[in-house]
Amino acid sequence: MRLINVMASSLDARIGVHKREGDDERQSVGLSNAKDQELLRRHMEGAEAIIVGATSIHANGSCLDHPGKGHKPPIWYIYARSPIPEHYEFWKQTHIPRVIVSANPLPLVPGSGVENLLYRKSEPASFIHGHMKSKGIETALLFGGGVVNSWFYEQGLVDQLELTLAPIMLGKADAPFLIAPQLSRAVQFLLVSSQVSENFVFLSYSVATIG
């Protein structure tokens, strides 16, 4: 299985002005542009699963509705520690497979089709990686945020990084990082390709070594 981390970052490695910044707000502050959104959707079209933290659902209220591999909606795995509010559009997206991943059971809205997968005392990244492999998933996207990213890099599970580098430095102490809080080992990358659009740089890396 191939795991691809797809992220957009400022020059000072911040992925948002604040933790609950939605896609529209991210574009308005200059952390994303039309090309970035186009590439993100292109990656989705080759994927069978998407991994994300619940903060993304809180920010947007829903999963990004775009087809995955074979024109089928990818499975969304959402790490959560607390209940997702019932009024979110997320609960009505019955055409999208959605799985809330948590250490302990969380409430589900009846009829939503959402599942709750429990990792309990297991390491959360390795748990879901093994689960996806058992389901025959070949390509999954990791959308972050920083804490979720750190879990997967720490376990050496990321194969590729697709990074949009935005031409902005936020300089805010409380803005969320690409990796949070830290890694125990450095991660080395090999540059595969790069392109530029409207002062944004789009970098494609393979993970070389961890440690």
Whole-angstrom Cα distance, residue 189 to residue 140?
19
Closest CA to 91 of 58, 70, 114, 71: 114
pLDDT digits (tens, 9 = 90+) for 157-181: 999 999 999 999 999 999 999 999 9
Q: What is the dihedral of CA 89, 20, 148, 31, to 10 degrees?
A: 110
Phi and psi, residue 101, nearest 5°: -105, 125
Tell me which architecture the domain covering 2-210 has in CATH: 3-Layer(aba) Sandwich (3.40)
Q: Are the C-beta atoms of 10 and 17 separated by less than 8 Å?
A: no
Whole-angstrom Cα distance, residue 101 to residue 155?
18
Domain boundaries, the chain: 2-210
pLDDT digits (tens, 9 = 90+) for 81-125: 999 999 999 999 999 999 999 999 999 999 999 999 999 999 999
